Structure 1
Amino acid sequence: MKIAVAQTPVEPDIRANGEAIRKILLAAHEQSIRLVVFCEGALSGYAKSQIMRPDQWHAFDWDAQDSELRDIAALCGKLGIHAVIGGAHRLDAAAQPHNSLYVLSASGDLLTRYDKRFLSHTEITDWYTPGTEPITFEVDGFRFGLAICIESQFPEVFSQYEALGVDAVLFGSYGIPEYFQIALRAHAGLNCLWIAGATPAQKAAEGPAGIIGPDGKVIVQCPSSAEPSYAVATLDRHDPAYDASLTKARPWRAKARLGEIYRERMVDDPRSRDRTSF
């Protein structure tokens, strides 16, 4: 299965953001790509950047975002491609929105939505309402999980998805600085997952969008430039390069975490409980 991560410019103009997303989807379709990941806030804009103040949510053009989402979903249906797109999600008037990833299906529907659960201090204080649960979905026999931005700093997000049986985590962020890149490689290698991370074009210089294999190695990255681009990789469970990760390390670690293999080998000998002698 071919997937891609995108670097599109993110602007205050929702219509312009939608047009940039559609251009990437059209180009990806020409390469038979089945799923494209876009960054945090790719459609709506991101807090503190395109949305400059918390009180701007009251003037946010929700109708424009809804219209663009429908148009992008229709294009996905026409092209037979899935898209994961960052955007704010409206709650009631008294609550700040979710910071979300929308999953649009190849049939032109909204398949599901992930709401960012682990927020920064600034986000949870002024900008966003946290989500409550992990989200998984399947395409072409592969299971995907979703994560956003600072969640790269929470190992439990990725270990939870590993326990839920996902093959890959799709990660959208408004910037992927070096320490995010290091963390994502570690999560991929420790949990034997593919991780596909998208970032805005204007943030590519600090760390480009890219796809990491289940061995923790980077497969492909976008250029570190502000030009719109995307990078492609093929998910293949039978790739010999990932035999150790997927058929040996991952099932062994899952078994080891249960602990039975260690309890079976424990020796009931008083000497083993003596910690003060050689």
Structure 2
Amino acid sequence: MTARRNFKNQVRARAARTAESYTSALRHFRPEAIAPEPRKVALAVAQTRVRTDPGNAEALRESGREVRALMRGAGRSGARIVHFPEGALCFPDKRVMSADGPGTVGPADWDRCRWAVLQEELTAVAALARELRLWTVIPSVHRLTGPNRPHNSLYVVSDRGEVVTRYDERLLSRTKGSYMYAPGSSPVTFDVDGMRFGCLLGMEIHYPELFAEYERLDVDCVLFSTSGTLGNTAAQAQGHAAVNSYWVGLAVPAGPSAATPSGIAGPDGDWLARCAEDGSPSVAVAVLDNGSEAAAEAMTYARPWRREVRAGLYTGRQVTDPRSGDRAAAF
């Protein structure tokens, strides 16, 4: 550990002396390093109140106003992209939507949704994204042709106010899959200023294979939106970031009972920014800089090495020593 610390101090000293990035300084000591092209993007994550009845037009409009206020706050903070939690406009409650009657759980009656109002709010969000020149990742329900159930989705709206892609939650909870939504079928990536983003939603933080899939797709950051899920969501987000050597944006609901604030974890798993801990609606901004020390260490060395190992670097190197195969061998 001491040798490692001393090496990093040497790299830092050279970076400070030459005004290089940490990545460039690192290559002076390790010429074999393949440094990525320098890129920076300011990402904002938001936390919003969750309203659960899509049949309540005024609640939908209030959610839209809150989302747009936070978009303006993100813009004032210099963000290039803002990421919202599941339910930012509405998170339809299974007991509100049940066709079997209020308070029960059964097949959802989507005729109760005020689709026209929801579309108006999404259109207003897109218009503001164009006005602010702010990429916006906003969850919502995506209506399909009846009798198909809708998707639970993340819309990616460009800084021109256009929907450029949409991610549909794939690994649904039991209730979502049984009564409410049609599952999605594929990962989704999009690029902003040279940085590649992937999207996940709902309870998908519990599936590490989805995060590993995005690592193979060369993303720089995964944006995960949830309305709340079992387990320590914050710790899982940090773990996925560190294991896959990329940034993770965690967007969760606001509220006094929120288990954790929204935040952005770096490629080393450390938090770079967190929203208000009191559960109030807010945004937090961090610059994703692949020339930073943490990113350089993770993306220039950790990620390529792990890929080699996963690809079978040690396959065929097993020794023939009998003591290797004897699992009960004495000390």
TM-score by length of 2: 0.77
Unaligned runs of at least 5 residues, structure 2: 1-40, 54-58, 99-106
For 1:129-159, what per-residue CA distance to the aligned partner results, in whole angstroms no more than 9, with x for missing partners? 1100000000010000000121000000100
Match of 2:85 in 1: 39
Match of 2:325 in 1: 275
Find the aligned partners of 1:188 and 1:270 in 2 and give their Cα distance: 37
Say whether 1:258 aligns with 2:304.
no
One of 94, 101, 104 as aligned partner of 2:147? 94
Contact 1:35 1:83 in 2 (8 A): yes
Q: How does 1:42-53 map to 2 (within 5 A)?
A: 42-48=88-94, 51-53=96-98
Return the offset for 1:68. Answer: 1.3
Code of the residue aligned with 1:254 in structure 2: it is R
Contact 2:91 2:227 in 1 (8 A): no
Find the aligned partners of 1:204 and 1:114 in 2 and give their Cα distance: 28
Find the aligned partners of 1:28 and 1:270 in 2 and give their Cα distance: 60
For 1:19-42, what per-residue CA distance to the aligned partner results, in whole angstroms no more than 9, with x for missing partners? 111111111111221011101121
Distance 1:275 1:176, change over 3 A: closer
Contact 1:7 1:200 in 2 (8 A): yes
Say whether 1:235 aligns with 2:275.
no
Moved more, 64-73 or 142-151: 64-73
Return the offset for 1:176. Answer: 5.6
Q: Percent identity?
A: 40
Find the aligned partners of 1:182 and 1:249 in 2 and give their Cα distance: 20
Moved more, 174-183 or 65-74: 174-183
Unaligned runs of at least 5 residues, structure 1: none
Task: Report which of the two structures shows the higher radius of gyration computed on alpha carbons.
Answer: 2
For 1:102-133, what per-residue CA distance to the aligned partner results, in whole angstroms no more than 9, with x for missing partners? 11110110011000001111111111111000
Match of 2:48 in 1: 8
Contact 2:94 2:108 in 1 (8 A): no
**Paired residues, what number?**
274
Distance 1:208 1:182, change over 3 A: same
Q: How does 1:29-178 map to 2 (within 5 A)?
A: 29-48=75-94, 51-53=96-98, 54-175=107-228
Moved more, 61-70 or 142-151: 61-70
For 1:219-254, what per-residue CA distance to the aligned partner results, in whole angstroms no more than 9, with x for missing partners? 221122242111111100000133221111011111
Find the aligned partners of 1:210 and 1:176 in 2 and give their Cα distance: 16
The two structures, once aligned, show a CA RMSD in angstroms of 2.1
Contact 2:138 2:155 in 1 (8 A): yes
SS at match of 1:205: coil
